[in-house]
Chain A
Amino acid sequence: MGKTLYDKIWDEHQIAVNSDDSSLLYIDRHLVHEVTSPQAFEGLKIDQRNIWNKNSIYAVSDHNVPTSARDQGIEDKISKLQVDTLVKNCKENNITYFDLNDVNQGIVHVIGPELGITQPGMTLVCGDSHTSTHGALAALAFGIGTSDVEHVLATQCINVKKAKNMKINIKNNLRAFVTPKDVILYVIKKIGTSGGTAHTIEFAGKCISDMSIEGRMTICNMSIEAGAKSGLVAFDDKTFNYVIDREHTPETKHIDVATKYWETLRSDANATFDSTYEFDADLIVPQVSWGTSPEMTVDVTGNIPDPSEIEDPKKRDAIARALNYMGLKPNQSIDSITLDKVFIGSCTNSRIEDLRDAASILEGKKVANTIKQAMVVPGSGLVKIQAEKEGLDKIFIDSGFEWREPGCSMCLGMNDDSLSPYERCASTSNRNFEGRQGDKGRTHLVSPAMAAMAAVKGHFCNITDL
């Protein structure tokens, strides 16, 4: 019987099968950030344990860092202590750390692929749920909690049960102005936030094979929002061209052998999946989330749902509750939703391609004067430099956007960038949970292009109409 891509990477890394049918899986790369690691390092110290392989670890501060006035350090004392703790832990253990003023600093899921730390066929973990992002490079990547961070630091392994195989096939190509973000929001809307539970999802089909690596990252990033353990896309020429010539890419002398292995990183034609979905890219229009769960999403041409029309009482209550939290009315049209803030950034949509998309919409236009704040937070120092080379920063600033330093920023608002109560935000991030971007804040998940257009209009509108 054929193997799926997931089966292949799994088998390559499985050291042993445990009595409870979990497996001892070897981990090639471990990315570490300031929020989920201090207790893990502390645990090692208390038990006097060593780090198994410091060379497999790369650390960066991203969640809790300021996105302006970097030269003045971190003002918030508690945040500073957390970042300093990571610096200290990395120093003590001789771990590579990208300092706040390093051009390589950025959101952990942006810098991993960008620096060539993430490579096809690897297993990669990070104490962060959006680790699934790295699956776009045909790597098996998943998020772990702090106990597991400690476990991987100490043993280079994790005990984990194999997930089931799911395939999501997306045929045809995307229409103009429809982006990978719209694809993944559409998929989550269709299969639900627990649709992928206990599965690893492989994304395939013409739409995916024609998509850039950056776009695939957006899709794999949010596969966790569909409940999946990981997202994956098969290795192809695009992957090869992306991976080659990056700072931490395999040395030239290894490339031929590596490529031979990489070429095997696709599901066999006769592989079987536990479940399969088929979608048509041609039918996808820009998506806007209206509620407090990513599955609460509609077409930009659609309306807010009416709970009174929903039969299932649990669903009805959930919708009513979300509408109340979001301050929206049943049947309201999407283009009638006016915004207070616009955030372009996060590990979902802060790569150069995303910024180009947004800038192309903003060129020669101004942010509506009803918008209190519009900001662009590039995913990394390298993205920032590239954007500045292309003059995108000028377009953003001229239109009225703030141009910030890299980090997670308003995606979760652990630093100063957050929503005030009841403020409504068009955000290119991945979660619209209650309070995610700030206490009582209201988040609408959209693509960078849709966010840019909403900034100009002051409300959502269908960019495909323009």
Chain B
Amino acid sequence: MKNKIISGQVIPINQANIDTDAIIPKQYLKSINKSGFGKFLFDSLRYSRPGTLDDYEDREPNMDFILNKEPFSKGKILIANDNFGCGSSREHAVWAIKDFGIEAIISTSFADIFSRNSFKNGILLISVNKDVLKKLFKEIESNKEYILSINVLDQSITGPKNLTVRFEINKSDKERIIHGYDDIAITLKRKNQIIEYEQKMKKNKPWLFNDE
């Protein structure tokens, strides 16, 4: 059976309500591309001054910020507090996280649109309870080089000192992470069903359709 293992350094950011404006500031949303956003991840915390799409290179990194520190700059698993990804629907936030190299995020809760965007882009979100999250933050505090390994098929996280945490994930999200899907192709398999619905509605509620 196909599986996916995500294993790597943890980046702890112990803050609640981290919003998508913080994950990627608005000036980068002017891009018409999908890639290259990793260097702007947490931009306003990461650099000495705000950049723009055509002026971002000669900025001083803010060395206090975790993403600029070893070993976190190559982290793969982000751990943050409640309600991660709230705010704007910008998928650019997820593109930035992915482009940076982060493959999974652990928190107690995620904002709704952010969550959809993440799974669509193959980013695994894991919701754990407050106690587990607290424990993880505590362990990382005493051990910077903290590596976790996430087994998606088994729904388990393993780490140093025999740490094992099981997590819940719904079936479709799980399969999405393991296999990667083309959602549009899947939906288009039901083309006839959609057309049938449409025909019915054109009869029942003709005003909804502008093509009469």
Which residues from chain A sit less than 8 Å from chain B, CB to CB? 15-16, 18-20, 22, 24, 26, 28, 35-36, 38-39, 42, 47, 49, 52-53, 55-56, 63-64, 77-79, 81-82, 85, 119, 122, 127-129, 143-148, 150-151, 154-157, 159-160, 193-194, 197-198, 227, 229, 248, 250-251, 254, 257-258, 261, 293, 314, 318, 321, 412-414, 431, 433-436, 439
Chain B nearest Cβ from A347, distance in angstroms: 12
Chain B nearest Cβ from A115, distance in angstroms: 12
The answer to the question of B141 belonging to the interface, with a C-beta cut-off of 8 Å to chain A, is no
| Cβ contact within 8 Å between A254 and B188 | no
| Cβ contact within 8 Å between B184 and A55 | no
Cα-based distance from A39 to B36 in the complex (angstroms): 13
- Interface flags for B114-143 (1: CB within 8 Å of A; 0: not) read 001100110000000000000000000000
Give 8 closest A-B pairs by Cβ, nearest first.
A250-B207, A20-B172, A38-B32, A145-B117, A254-B207, A145-B91, A55-B210, A146-B91
| Cβ contact within 8 Å between B22 and A435 | yes
The answer to the question of B73 belonging to the interface, with a C-beta cut-off of 8 Å to chain A, is no
CB nearest to B174 among chain A residues? A20
Cα-based distance from A293 to B86 in the complex (angstroms): 10
| Cβ contact within 8 Å between A24 and B190 | yes
Cα-based distance from A147 to B31 in the complex (angstroms): 16
**Within 8 Å CB of A435, what residues of B?**
21-22, 25, 44
Cα-based distance from A97 to B91 in the complex (angstroms): 23
**Within 8 Å CB of A197, what residues of B?**
83, 109, 111-112
**Within 8 Å CB of B210, what residues of A?**
55-56, 248
The answer to the question of B103 belonging to the interface, with a C-beta cut-off of 8 Å to chain A, is no
Contact of B120 among A148, A154, A293 (CB under 8 A): A148
**Within 8 Å CB of B74, what residues of A?**
none
Chain B nearest Cβ from A251, distance in angstroms: 7
The answer to the question of B208 belonging to the interface, with a C-beta cut-off of 8 Å to chain A, is yes
With A49-B184, A129-B89 already in contact, the answer to whether A26 and B197 are too (CB < 8 A) is yes
Contact of A229 among B27, B44, B112, B193 (CB under 8 A): B112
**Within 8 Å CB of B205, what residues of A?**
257-258, 261
Tally of contacts, chain A with chain B, CB under 8 A = 172
- Interface flags for B5-19 (1: CB within 8 Å of A; 0: not) read 000000000011101
Chain A nearest Cβ from B26, distance in angstroms: 5
Which residues from chain B sit less than 8 Å from chain A, CB to CB? 15-17, 19, 21-22, 25-27, 29-34, 44, 50, 52-54, 81-83, 86-91, 94, 109, 111-113, 116-117, 120-121, 170-173, 183-184, 187-188, 190, 193-194, 197-198, 201, 205-211
Cα-based distance from A338 to B71 in the complex (angstroms): 43
Taking A20-B173, A250-B207, A257-B207 as given, write out 6 further A-B residue pairs in contact, using a Cβ cutoff of 8 Å, ordered by the A residue number.
Answer: A20-B171, A56-B209, A145-B90, A194-B82, A227-B111, A248-B210
With A150-B184, A194-B83 already in contact, the answer to whether A439 and B209 are too (CB < 8 A) is no
Contact of B187 among A53, A55, A157, A314 (CB under 8 A): A157
Cα-based distance from A314 to B183 in the complex (angstroms): 39
Question: Can you sample 5 A-B contacts with CB below 8 Å?
Answer: A36-B89, A49-B184, A147-B183, A160-B116, A412-B26
With A26-B201, A129-B89, A147-B121 already in contact, the answer to whether A78 and B52 are too (CB < 8 A) is yes
**Within 8 Å CB of B82, what residues of A?**
194
**Within 8 Å CB of B50, what residues of A?**
439
Contact of A258 among B54, B86, B207 (CB under 8 A): B207
Cα-based distance from A258 to B206 in the complex (angstroms): 9
| Cβ contact within 8 Å between B172 and A18 | yes
With A19-B171, A197-B112 already in contact, the answer to whether A314 and B16 are too (CB < 8 A) is yes
Chain B nearest Cβ from A118, distance in angstroms: 12
Contact of A28 among B26, B89, B208 (CB under 8 A): B208
| Cβ contact within 8 Å between A144 and B194 | no
Chain A nearest Cβ from B69, distance in angstroms: 20
CB nearest to B32 among chain A residues? A38
With A15-B193, A434-B21 already in contact, the answer to whether A148 and B116 are too (CB < 8 A) is yes
Chain A nearest Cβ from B193, distance in angstroms: 6
| Cβ contact within 8 Å between B21 and A20 | no
**Within 8 Å CB of B171, what residues of A?**
19-20
**Within 8 Å CB of A16, what residues of B?**
190, 193
CB nearest to B33 among chain A residues? A39
Chain A nearest Cβ from B40, distance in angstroms: 13
With A39-B32, A227-B111 already in contact, the answer to whether A433 and B89 are too (CB < 8 A) is no
**Within 8 Å CB of B30, what residues of A?**
35, 64, 78-79, 81-82, 414
Cα-based distance from A167 to B76 in the complex (angstroms): 40
